[in-house]
Structure 1
Amino acid sequence: MTRIIVADDHTLVRAGLQRILAGSDDLEVVGEAANGAQAMALLEQTPCDVLLLDLSMPGRSGMDLIAQIKASFPRVAILVLTMHGEEQYAVRALKAGAVGYMTKESAPSELVSAVRKVVAGGVHLSLAMAERIAQDLATAAGDTPGYRRLSDREFDVFLMLARGLNLSDIADSLCVSAKTVSTYKARVLQKLDLKSQTELVHYAIKHNLLRDSL
């Protein structure tokens, strides 16, 4: 029996995942968490094989959480299930220690097969995501674009700014102060050699980083 913990801050999402996984006799949800702290506490108390993890829960960066979980519980397979369809998020999640990456638009059957694959030691990416990552890496082979040099938190802020969110909205989403977000914004503009949020939006469109949100 494969033991699964579901970490997502939306109750309805957790309930939906529970129903999908309950349809397979070899899969069992042994716990649920609504944020990173709850996920860490649950992992310490409950033996588990696979962690289904949302990247956008309140609090610390999803990438930081993946790295911490992988360091503390190396045998747990982390399968990211998120709304972020951008390949840069997938690349960063895999580098942090995840072994699978899916969007919440994936079919239920793909979720079940992905869980079985990662618990068996494999890596799961949808075919479309794998192709996009390969194309992205091939395009950038000769020149590393500036956005790749952003930290995980800077990249989060960068994409939120590019989507038109203001500092207060971003601060609420990341559970930090607006002043902290302003500092991240300044770092992003400096690293990308941009002068304004308008230029930042144009930069994101030019590099095809908003393909799933426009």
Structure 2
Amino acid sequence: MTNPIIRIVIGEDHRLLIQGYQSLLSKTTDIQIVAVATNFYEVIQKLKTCPCDVLLLDLTMPMASNSDVTRLSGLDVLEFIKKEQLGIKALVISTHRDYEIIKKVTALGAFGYVFKNINYDEFIEAIRAVASGKDYFPKEVEGILTSKLQDEERLIAGGVKITPREKEILKLLSEGMKADDIATLLGLGKYTIEEYRTNLIKKFKAKNTTNLVKKACDFKFI
């Protein structure tokens, strides 16, 4: 009995890497690339029109084909998949080793996260594991998450716990920056910033953003 075909959409803006994936995956009999997209809007369009099992996703891509500016648009893709409940299993393949980014990827429901220096056998293993519904986070990724766990939350006056990223966003909000501007500055999605702001308002039991900033100042946090 042959294994079912794993249908893959690739979200990657570097042509050389795309060709590399195509070459590597052509050696398998159970993995088929059904579409390739090189920016955020292309990925969304392909996910809507090309039935697939796994999305192989780079985090850093342009938003549109006419843009030379790259950003962490892969996070926006993950937000879209989660919001629309598409049921597509995302395997992120990235060079980013930042704890906050990896943690956000897991929070947005990605099934796996691997680095681009992965070897061929592990690459294929990761795709097959994710396709079968299993999480795939190598020891190096798990190590980053574990080692930073103690640094994730800080206790401040009033018993409010916030993360370093939340502190950064608080400071930018206090400077009057809008969610769109903060998203662009930090390379995150607008909805991600909105989520951070909503969580901060809840943590500080604030009425709105203005009240949030005031309370944060009262706690001498900013």
TM-score bin (small chain): 0.5 to 0.7
> For each residue in 1:27-71, what CA deviation from the matched residue of structure 2 results, as whole angstroms up to 9, or x when unmatched?
111110011111111112111000001110012732122110233
1:79 & 1:23 partners in 2: Cα distance?
19
Aligned-partner SS, 2:128: helix
In structure 2, what is the equivalent of residue 20 of structure 1? Answer: 24
Instruction: Answer yes or no: is the 8 Å Cα contact 1:64–1:96 preserved in 2.
Output: no
Q: Which TM-score applies when normalising by structure 1?
A: 0.67
1:45 equivalent in alignment to 2:49: yes
CA distance in 1, matches of 2:166, 2:112: 20
Secondary structure of 2:29 counterpart: coil
- Residue identity in the other structure for 2:38: A
Q: Give the CA deviation at 1:120.
A: 0.9
Cα RMSD (Å) of the superposition?
A: 3.1
2:88 aligned partner, one-letter code: V
Identity of aligned residues (%): 27
Partner residue of 1:119?
131
Please name the residue that 1:133 is paired with. Answer: 145
Which residue in 1 is equivalent to 2:108? 96
One-letter amino acid matched to 2:165:
Y
The alignment's TM-score, normalised by the length of structure 2, stands at: 0.65
Whichever residue aligns with residue 20 of structure 1, its letter is L
Structure 1 letter corresponding to 2:19: A
On the 8 A contact 1:82/1:102 being kept in 2, the answer is yes
Native 8 Å contact 2:103 2:145 kept in 1: yes
The residue aligned with 2:89 is 77
Shift of residue 158, structure 1, vs aligned partner: 4.8
Distance of 1:121 and 1:106 partners within structure 2? 20
| Matched residue type, 1:7 | G
Q: In 2 relative to 1, CA 93–150 (structure 1 residues): closer, same or farther, beyond 3 Å?
A: farther
Spell out structure 1 runs of 4+ moving beyond 6 A. none
For residues 48-197 of structure 1, the aligned pairs below 5 Å read 48-59=52-63, 61-72=73-84, 74-140=86-152, 143=155, 144-150=162-168, 154=182, 157-158=185-186
- Counterpart secondary structure, 1:97: coil
Whether the 8 Å CA contact 1:79–1:99 is kept in 2: the answer is yes
Offset from partner CA, 1:76-110 (integer Å, 9 cap, x none): 10111112122321111111121111111111211
Equivalenced residue count is: 166
Unaligned runs of 5+ in 1: 160-189, 195-214
Q: Letter of the aligned partner of 1:2 in structure 2?
A: I
Farther off after superposition, 53-62 or 126-135: 53-62
Does the residue aligned with 1:48 lie in a helix, a strand or coil? coil
The CA distance in 2 between the partners of 1:88 and 1:28, in whole Å, is: 32
- Give the aligned partner of residue 10 of structure 1: 14
What SS is found at the alignment partner of 2:13?
coil
